[in-house]
Amino acid sequence: MDFKKFKTIPEAILEYKDSQKTAVCCGEEALSYHELIRDSRRFALALKKEGIGKGSYVMLCMTRSTRLMTALLGILYAGAAYVAVDPEWPKSRLDFIKQDCGNALVLDDKLFYAM
């Protein structure tokens, strides 16, 4: 099997960078591939300014929305890894995961808007 043929998720999505087709929708919200890629790349730059990059972990603790997909893809574009967690989990569980990930950045809806 030739693994060089395989692409990462960000590489595969970039093939649609000029497409106006719907990439993601949640409720009444929708983003085209063009919008999703543009917004997630901007978010990746904001993460990099905060020191997030290759080898970093981001705890993704957001509610389901188009912003969640923008953040997820932005984390990957920044070169980091995400750890999806449920905001409803007990604080002790979230604290353990954060510590286990080397004090990962906890990205919630509020921080997403601040970046």
User: What CA–CA distance (Å, rounded) separates 16 from 32?
Assistant: 9
Summarize the confidence of residues 45-55 as an average pLDDT.
Answer: 93
* Amino acid present at 48: K
Query: Which are the contacts of 10, defined by CB distance < 8 A and separation ≥ 6?
Result: 73, 76, 77
* Amino acid present at 107: L
Residue with tokens 């981001």: 58
pLDDT over threshold 90, residue 102: no
Report the predicted TM-score, pTM, of the whole model to 2 decimal places. 0.86
3-state secondary structure of 42: helix
Neighbours of 75 (CB within 10 A): 25
